[in-house]
Amino acid sequence: MSAEEKEAQDPVCGMSFDKDEAAATMEYEGEVYYFCGESCKEEFAANPDQYAHTR
């Protein structure tokens, strides 16, 4: 896996990190989203359409 494939960006806060360092993940409409923390995951879950297409 290349470095680019390992990189994730939290769709809520915009923080970048390695996917294997994600504090939380969630699947939405067939895509896996990676989060820096539970609070960002909860914010995403409350309104996924607001964040799902920001990456």
pLDDT of 1-55, one tens digit each? 566 689 999 999 999 999 999 999 999 999 999 999 999 999 999 999 999 975 5
- pLDDT at position 48 is 97
* Contacts of residue 51, Cβ cutoff 8 Å, sequence gap at least 6: 11, 12, 33, 43, 44
pTM of the model: 0.86
- pLDDT at position 31 is 95
- pLDDT at position 9 is 97
- pLDDT at position 53 is 78
